Amino acid sequence: MEPVKIFVGTPANNEDLEAQAVLDYSLRAHASRPLEVTFMMLSRDPATFWYSDPQRKLGWRTEGWATPFSALRWGIPAACDFQGRAIYMDSDMIAMADIAELWTQPMPEGKIVLAKREEDGKNVASCVMLWDCAAARGKLPEINALKSVPGRYKDIRHSLGNLAGEYAGDWNCRDRQDLPKYESILDPKIKILHYTEIPTQPSHKHARARLKREGKGHWATQPDRPHPRPEVNVLFDRLLAEAIAAGRGPETFRIAPEFGDYARKAA
């Protein structure tokens, strides 16, 4: 059976290992098909698709990015050689349903991607997307242009227009915009829970304590505050403990060498 191919936007200095462990564990806990999960992150290796050298301004130009992986999502069809399907996800998510339900949704004629529509009906929320990589050929900026223009990623989400369809199901239930619609975070209509608000992310208490022990900092420097829905923290902590017990805890996802300093100031 063809695996579900998933690319996860991830910081490249091991800052979010706990979030990676919970997402990976929750995806696999619900999956009815094999998964091919790629934690997609910047690399100093010139041979990789995700190469970036901020000092020499080569590869992916990250100035102006909101996160250390903001524009990488738009490179996925090219990374797949414009073949097959691919799902993009942010790393700050918990799968609540079988990702195969998203993977097998039909792609309407003339569309290159399925995503959640914002309330304005025009823009897409690009945190979870299902790509038809072949259909995307020639519809996105040429990959070298995408890599080399700082801040260009901001324009693409607003320019997809009629090229983007909308998937069935709440595969991107964001804690600020969407979660208030649900009385329970266990509502079966929630397919993916996205704890997107950075200061309230339940992974931070674990990650910041670990990073402090390692003498390092987190890429997100904003002060943390309690999540308005405490049950999100309870769910995250339970899944993290389960992932560790299953032998796929945070250290499973540690990389070496780390990327180092990001270039994220305004271009």
When mean pLDDT is compared across 54-63, 129-138, 257-266, the lowest value belongs to: 257-266
pLDDT at res. 118: 83
Q: Compute the average pLDDT of residues 211-221.
A: 95
In the chain, domain spans = 4-253
- Amino acid letter, 158: H
Could you tell me which of 132, 133, 194 has the C-alpha nearest to residue 165? Answer: 132
Question: DSSP states of 151-178 as a string?
Answer: TTHHHHHHH-GGGEEE-SSBS-EETTTT
Amino acid present at 262? Y
**Residue 36 pLDDT greater than 60, yes or no:** yes
Question: Using CA atoms, how far apart are residues 125 and 262, in angstroms rounded to an integer?
Answer: 24
Strand partners, 89: 8, 128
Instruction: Confirm if 87 and 99 have CB atoms less than 8 A apart.
Output: yes
Pick one of 3.90.550.10, 3.40.190.10, 3.10.20.30, 3.20.20.70 as the CATH number of 4-253: 3.90.550.10
- Give the length of the chain: 267
- This prediction's pTM: 0.96
**Residue where the block lists tokens 């903001």:** 70
